[in-house]
């Protein structure tokens, strides 16, 4: 079957890194990503299921991998060659349409008993992380045994699949996984109705975090840093009270909070500040912005996958700021009834009509164009770019 795969070829990784540094997304043409025929992944255990993807999104972490700029942190917890794609809506062999919850926790890995986190439903915090019956891979889409969504077929453990209601379109469904990430982060931020909250970034994750905060947390004031016109329009629709330009983040946060400030330009920071910042970009610049504008004792949540960065953490210390991460999903104990994040995300997708964030789809053949489009999504007026597998010829023959 046809699949996009990533091999551990150092020369190609280096080429991708160089190309991606010049033009984000251009690692697709010269890097480790290739379209080729591979064997259909075998079922790791009898209870596993085969999934034929319909749509598979391109995520920021995928782009980092394609451009060779992922953190080396991941090296022991991925296995090559792997097929990327962890934002997946697909069909089971019995025709059930499902979305895949890609975290490979204890149940999927065959650990028995489950670790404490997995037993509590918090798969993102799995205490085993690797091992068991599968090759390393923190998620489907980074594991050589499971395949990924950028292929005609992949495999999933029953604990990973969630049936999609008929009311949701494929476009809605492919947004469930990133929405779950966003929802998990929004809830981890522990925002109250008295808080002024700043969301940095209005790509897919930033917009979904905005929607999640608007629906579940209702902060007193929700500020969103958005660069491009389409992002600004969507952020407003999804609940932003005020939009800030990226180069005016600090000034805008000061204005919104009426805080005193110290310094000018790049050294400007607030004496007071916003209560909570959710950084959906994860660059050194945005983290520095977050630390400059959060109030003493406030919280900064890293939602976007951070790049390796050099940071001055003095403000973290001097202002007693909490810097926390929000990764993946599991069970949302802060919501009534402690639902699975994916179930709550599915409701949010339906309520907010989030399928409209899918701006463009590509066949596997056009993966270079797809990756380049995704890497420049904001500038091109797009949000989510996905692969469309529904018309792949092999799909019905498998």
Partner 1 sequence: MSPRPGFVLDVDRTTPPVLFHHGEQLKLERLPADRSRIVYPAEPLPALRDPDAAILAALLEPIDSEPLPSLLRPGMKLTIAFDDVSLPLPPMQRPDLRQRIIEAVLDLAAAAGVDDVVLVAALALHRRMTEAELRHALGDRVYDAFAPHGLLTQHDAEDPDALLFIGETDRGEEVEINRRAAESDLIVYVNINLVAMDGGHKSTATGLSSYRSLRHHHNVATMRHSRSFMDQESSALHSSNWRMGKVLRDAGIKVFQIETTVNTDTYGADGPLAVLQKREWEWTGRDRATFLAMQKGLDAMPTRLRRKIFHSWRSPYGLTSVQAGEIEAVHKVTTEHVYRQHLVPVEGQTDVVTMGLPYISPYNVDSIMNPILVMCLGLGYFFNLYRGKPVVREGGVLIMSHPTPWEFHPVHHPSYIDFFEEVLADTTDPVEIGERYEERYATDEWYRHLYRTSHAYHGVHPFYMWYWGSHALEHLGDVIVVGGDPRAVRRLGFRPASTLQDALEMASDTVGRQPTITHLHNPPLLMADVT
Positive or negative torsion for Cα 321, 326, 330, 334: positive
Residue of 61, 65, 231, 259 that binds partner 1 (CB under 8 A) = 259
Q: Are strands 154-156 and 49-57 parallel, antiparallel or unpaired?
A: antiparallel
264 interacts with partner 1 by CB under 8 A = yes
Kindly provide the residue ranges of all beta strands, DSSP E only, lying in 48-147, ordered along the sequence. Answer: 49-57, 88-92, 97-100
Nearest-CA neighbor of 368 among 103, 25, 62? 25
Please classify residue 75 by burial: count the beta carbons closer than 10 Å to its beta carbon, then call 0-12 exposed, 13-18 middle and 19+ buried.
Answer: exposed
The contacts of residue 159 (CB under 8 Å, 6+ apart) are 101, 105, 107, 108
CB of 255 to partner 1, least distance (A): 5
252 interacts with partner 1 by CB under 8 A = yes
x/- letters, 223..242, toward partner 1 (CB under 8 A): -------------------x
Tell me what percent of the chain is helix, strand and coil, each rounded to the nearest 5: 35, 20, 40
269 interacts with partner 1 by CB under 8 A = no
248 interacts with partner 1 by CB under 8 A = yes
Instruction: Kindly tell me which of 41 and 252 has the beta carbon lying closer to partner 1.
Output: 252
Determine the Cα–Cα distance for residues 259 and 95; give it in Å rounded to an integer.
Answer: 56
Residue of 26, 146, 210, 261 that binds partner 1 (CB under 8 A) = 261
Give the binding range for partner 1 (CB under 8 A) out of 257-265, 278-286, 350-358, 387-395: 257-265
255 interacts with partner 1 by CB under 8 A = yes
Continuous segment of H or E residues that includes residue 299: strand 294-302
Instruction: Kindly tell me which of 94 and 264 has the beta carbon lying closer to partner 1.
Output: 264
245 interacts with partner 1 by CB under 8 A = yes
Instruction: Kindly tell me which of 261 and 361 has the beta carbon lying closer to partner 1.
Output: 261
Instruction: Kindly tell me which of 54 and 232 has the beta carbon lying closer to partner 1.
Output: 232
Binding site for partner 1 (CB under 8 A): 242-243, 245, 248, 251-252, 254-255, 258-261, 264-265
């Amino acid at each position: 079957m046809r699949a996009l795969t990533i091999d551990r070829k150092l020369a190609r990784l280096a080429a991708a890194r160089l190309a991606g540094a010049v033009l984000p997304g251009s690692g697709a043409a010269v890097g480790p990503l290739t379209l080729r025929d591979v064997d259909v992944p075998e079922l790791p255990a009898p209870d596993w299921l085969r999934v034929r993807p319909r749509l598979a999104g391109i995520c920021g972490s995928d782009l980092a991998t394609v451009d060779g700029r992922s953190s080396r942190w991941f090296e022991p917890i991925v296995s090559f060659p792997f097929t990327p794609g962890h934002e997946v809506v697909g069909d089971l062999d019995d025709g059930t349409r499902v979305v895949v919850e890609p975290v490979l926790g204890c149940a999927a890995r065959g650990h028995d008993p489950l670790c404490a986190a997995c037993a509590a439903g918090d798969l993102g915090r799995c205490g085993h992380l690797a091992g068991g019956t599968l090759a390393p891979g923190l998620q489907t889409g980074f594991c050589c045994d499971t395949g990924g969504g950028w292929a005609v077929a992949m495999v999933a453990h029953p604990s990973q699949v969630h049936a999609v209601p008929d009311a949701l379109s494929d476009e809605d469904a492919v947004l469930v996984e990133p929405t779950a990430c966003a929802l998990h982060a929004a809830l981890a931020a522990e925002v109250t109705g008295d808080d002024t909250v700043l969301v940095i970034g209005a790509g897919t994750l930033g917009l979904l975090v905005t929607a999640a905060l608007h629906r579940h947390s209702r902060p007193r004031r929700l500020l969103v840093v958005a660069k491009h016109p389409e992002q600004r329009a969507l952020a407003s629709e999804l609940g932003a009270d005020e939009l800030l330009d990226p180069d005016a983040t600090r000034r805008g946060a000061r204005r919104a909070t009426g805080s005193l400030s110290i310094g000018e330009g790049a050294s400007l920071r607030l004496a007071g500040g916003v209560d909570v910042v959710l950084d959906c970009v994860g660059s050194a610049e945005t983290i520095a912005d977050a630390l400059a504008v959060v109030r003493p004792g406030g919280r900064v949540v890293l939602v976007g996958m951070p790049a390796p960065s050099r940071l001055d953490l003095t403000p973290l210390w001097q202002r007693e700021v909490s810097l926390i991460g929000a990764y993946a999903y599991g069970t949302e104990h802060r919501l009534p009834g402690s639902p699975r994040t994916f179930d709550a995300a599915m409701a949010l997708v339906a309520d907010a009509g989030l399928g409209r964030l899918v701006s463009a789809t590509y066949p596997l053949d056009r993966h270079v164009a797809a990756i380049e489009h995704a890497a420049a999504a904001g500038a091109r007026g797009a949000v989510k770019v996905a692969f469309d597998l529904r018309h792949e010829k092999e799909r019905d023959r498998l």
